[in-house]
Structure 1
Amino acid sequence: MPPRPSRGAPKERCSPPPLDTAALERLALRYVERFSTTRGRLTDYLLRKIRERGWEGAAADPAALAEKMAALGYVNDLAFGEARAAAMARRGLGQRRVSVAFRQAGIAEEDAAALAPAIEDRAVQAALTFARKKRIGPFATALPDRALREKQIGTMIRGGHDFTLSRRIATMAPGASVDDLSHD
């Protein structure tokens, strides 16, 4: 079999031109149209793009651009936080894990505080969802020994749940009713 003919030298990729104010605004608009985000995440994204491509012109202010996007209604930290907290509760994750996710997303403390009561209202249901997924307490197939129960409590705590609630669920007998927990 004859050798395959070459198609010429590989093409060199040219680096994109440095960003300016208009290009940065286009990047910000494209990002917020594609992703639900926070002001903090948008600022981090824009700073990363400036580091990657460089900057040309007057000093860049990604934080001000993120605030502008928020003022236009394209970015809403509170709505993002509500959606993230509800999704994490459906996955069975607790309040501490949600607060860590809020800090990572750059949600301000006042927005996180405004969302705290709704997160607390879902705490028991989220813990029960977590226990069902991990087969802990009333969702277990057999009564665990003490060492396994302690591991299960630790698992629930790492899932972001309160120690007292974790212990109450983990010490429940397999098949026990969870109705009394739901009303607390």
Structure 2
Amino acid sequence: MNSPRAAKKPAPPLNDERLRQLALHYVGKYATTQAKLGTYLNRKIRERGWDGERGADIAMLVEQFAALGYINDAQFAEARSRSFVRRGYGERRLNEDLRASGIGQADAIPAKAHMEESTLSAAENFARRKRIGPFAQEAATPEKRNKQLNAFLRAGHSFELAKRFVYAEPGDEIGDWI
């Protein structure tokens, strides 16, 4: 038997209006960056083809959306920074994410400043979530501490900060460290 998807007709090739509608749908559904929108639209053109009289001007469409405020890379970066602090990720992990999202240096400045101010808070959130150091029920074995230290480093925190949390005893006060 044929599945319902096999009988589905292929989507028509894109033109200027269809491309604009696709872009509007995408920015309405997802928080995105200029680079991600451009990548998405290029992929859709590769998949569906182009039926316009002249070539697709994706860069112009992306710039237009940015000018209209549909996309704001600086706000996206700040939102990512706040999300990473809540989830307990560090500065290095944020920098990798912003680079992968196509955020430029100028748009990343406020997000990086927020992360610098919140480094200790992010590390505390990570330790609390993973029950490491002061948030553990009992002191960890050396092997477990090594694993916890590696987890802290993968989360994007500095070695010194990770060490402070991992080697803290259960119930230690974090406020004393500042």
TM-score, normalisation: structure 2: 0.91
2:157 maps to: 161
**Structure 1 residues not aligned, in runs of 5+:** 1-5
Say if 1:39 and 1:11 are closer, same or farther in 2 by CA, change over 3 A: closer
Task: Give the structure with higher Rg (CA).
Answer: 1
Residues 1:52 and 2:47 aligned together: yes
Residues 1:26 and 2:43 aligned together: no
CA distance in 2, matches of 1:12, 1:157: 49
2:75 maps to: 79
CA distance in 2, matches of 1:40, 1:17: 25
Residues 1:125 and 2:121 aligned together: yes
1:92 pairs with 74, 88, 92, which one? 88
CA distance in 2, matches of 1:17, 1:117: 46
2:78 and 2:110 in contact (8 A); partners too: no
Residue type at the aligned position of 2:117: D
Residue type at the aligned position of 1:35: Y
Alignment of 1:127-142 (within 5 A): 127-142=123-138
2:127 and 2:133 in contact (8 A); partners too: yes
Residues 1:43 and 2:38 aligned together: yes
Percent identical across equivalent pairs? 43
CA distance in 1, matches of 2:80, 2:10: 36
Q: What is the Cα deviation at residue 166 of structure 1? A: 0.4
1:151 pairs with 147, 153, 163, which one? 147
Residues 1:180 and 2:169 aligned together: no
**Structure 2 residues not aligned, in runs of 5+:** none
Residue type at the aligned position of 1:123: T
Q: What is the Cα deviation at residue 94 of structure 1? A: 1.0
- Provide Cα deviations, 1:123-176, integer angstroms capped at 9, x if missing partner: 111101101111111111111232222221111001111110000111111111
Residues 1:171 and 2:167 aligned together: yes
Residue type at the aligned position of 2:26: Y
Matched pairs, number: 174
- Provide Cα deviations, 1:21-75, integer angstroms capped at 9, x if missing partner: 1111111112112222110111111111101110122111222211110011110
CA RMSD in angstroms comes to 1.7
- Provide Cα deviations, 1:85-126, integer angstroms capped at 9, x if missing partner: 111111111111111111222111221233211111111111
For the residue of structure 2 that corresponds to 1:155, the secondary structure is: helix
2:81 and 2:112 in contact (8 A); partners too: no
CA distance in 2, matches of 1:79, 1:113: 11
